[in-house]
Amino acid sequence: MSIMIIIIVLIIRVTLIMLCSQTNPLIKQKTCDKCTEPGEYYDGRVILKKISSSKRTDTSFRLQQDEEHHLGISPLTRLNVGLVSTFPIDYMHACCLGVCRKLLNFWIGGNLKTRLPNRLVKTISQRLVSLKPYIPLEFNRKPRSLDELQRWKATEFRSFLLYLGPVVLKDVTDLAVYEHFLLFHCAISILISDRHISKYGFEYPNKLLCAFVTHCEKLYGKQFLIYNVHILCHLVDDVKNYGPLDRFSAFPFENYLGVLKKLIKSPTQPLQQIHRRLKEADYFFRINCSQKSLVHLLEHNSGPTSIYTCCRQYRKVKYQNFILCAKFQSSADSYCLIKGDIVFEIHNIILYEESTFLIGKQYVEKRPLYNYPIESSELGICIVDILSEHYFSWSIKDVVSKCLVLPFNNKLVCVPIIHTLTEDSI
């Protein structure tokens, strides 16, 4: 009896899918917001196969040039805004919670062709968990095992895409799968940073994203070509209009929800409470900013002080939007990139005649972590080895960015933390 019910349900489902995809005139096929590529139903989902269809413009939308795309006149047309260009793609949802999560889901639970063997999934999980002690203060969450993938937050997918993925996947997945992931990783790493955009322009990251989308079908099948994957080809247009991805992503709003929640102390008049607390915070922020942009913390006398005598020593310094520590205070927060691509390990922080200096050692050997589609060292990502014997001293003004330094095959991989790239280095 129960088998009969299952068969009937299956027949109804297949019929509905066929109706949706073929004949039902009442159901419009989903098309892309940014181009005229029509969606088609495949395996129970809408896929968009081509990436070369003509692009929609604000004018073509208002004139309803693609009749199939409109169900009527949108009330938003009364606003004096471009109805295509004013609605950029949110990289938090499209790239992190969208494509990155989809890739990981395919590797873990996709069909037999695309799924990674269990032992490799375990290896990736073990590598991720082993990186926990190496995650700096700027990261809200420590890496978790793939067993918990369904509970991963957007920031965890972002960390995987930009920092951890290239390390934990290396020599584990097929080279084709790894290099395909690197197309996505490199493109997003470029598009998230002013500095990388001014170096590579828009054409190159666009080429990487289009290559990523094109190769998706070969590696993962047609069912991978969902809307989130297709719109990667339009991402660069929004970066041209609005700047690096984080300037128009949902991350700041998502992160701030927790802050807003903490401002409410009682159930009455929550909006008024938030308004009052924000006004106070704004007042104190303005006072503090005008007083100091560099904050020295945790004074000590343990050295090393190098050539400096009569100086004050600190374990921690808050500089711009990040914190640097001496290695004995917090190893994970003690690495930075100095002008000239020097990977530096901080052993002490010195205040000498009102200037701040970092005392430490620098890595002598460096080589790229990957060579495709570009040498990783072009993005500042490299395998480092052998520390200098002697101490060096650098002014804090020479810091280009804080770095994440992760263990890899008995060596270390240095990855610049993109949002800490200092303004002077842009």
| 56: contact with Zn ion by CB under 5 A | no
| Distances in whole angstroms, Cα of residue 304 to Cα of each of 15, 217, 251, 337, 399 | 75, 56, 40, 20, 19
- Residue 222: CB minimum distance to Zn ion, A: 16
Residues 6+ apart with CB under 8 A from 291: none
Size of the site for Zn ion (CB under 5 A): 4
Which listed residue (17, 22, 25, 34) binds Zn ion by CB under 5 A?
A: 34
Cβ atoms within 10 Å, residue 95? 29
- Residue 36: CB minimum distance to Zn ion, A: 8
Q: At what angle do helices 175-191 and 235-242 cross, to 10 degrees?
A: 20
| 195: contact with Zn ion by CB under 5 A | no
CA distance 388 to 20: 66
Closer residue to Zn ion, CB minimum distance, 39 or 360:
39
- Residue 92: CB minimum distance to Zn ion, A: 19
Closer residue to Zn ion, CB minimum distance, 37 or 333:
37
Closer residue to Zn ion, CB minimum distance, 34 or 347:
34
- Residue 66: CB minimum distance to Zn ion, A: 12
- Residue 32: CB minimum distance to Zn ion, A: 3
Contact segment (CB under 5 A) with Zn ion among 25-33, 152-160, 164-172, 359-367 equals 25-33
Q: Residue 134 gets which letter from DSSP?
A: G
Which listed residue (31, 35, 56, 401) binds Zn ion by CB under 5 A?
A: 35
| 213: contact with Zn ion by CB under 5 A | no
Contact segment (CB under 5 A) with Zn ion among 31-39, 135-143, 324-332, 390-398 equals 31-39
CA 361 to chain centre: 29
- Residue 70: CB minimum distance to Zn ion, A: 16
- Residue 158: CB minimum distance to Zn ion, A: 23
CA distance 153 to 262: 20
| 94: contact with Zn ion by CB under 5 A | no
- Residue 197: CB minimum distance to Zn ion, A: 22
Closer residue to Zn ion, CB minimum distance, 34 or 158:
34
| 127: contact with Zn ion by CB under 5 A | no
By the 8 A CB rule, do 381 and 368 touch?
Answer: yes
Q: CA end-to-end span of the chain, whole Å?
A: 69
Which listed residue (32, 124, 208, 216) binds Zn ion by CB under 5 A?
A: 32
| 146: contact with Zn ion by CB under 5 A | no
Contact segment (CB under 5 A) with Zn ion among 35-43, 140-148, 250-258, 286-294 equals 35-43
- Which of 417, 421, 331, 413 is CA-nearest to residue 366? 413
Q: At what angle do helices 235-242 and 203-220 cross, to 10 degrees?
A: 160
- φ and ψ at 271, to 5 degrees? -65, -45
By the 8 A CB rule, do 373 and 412 touch?
Answer: no
Residues 6+ apart with CB under 8 A from 275: none
Residues forming the site for Zn ion (CB under 5 A): 32, 34-35, 37
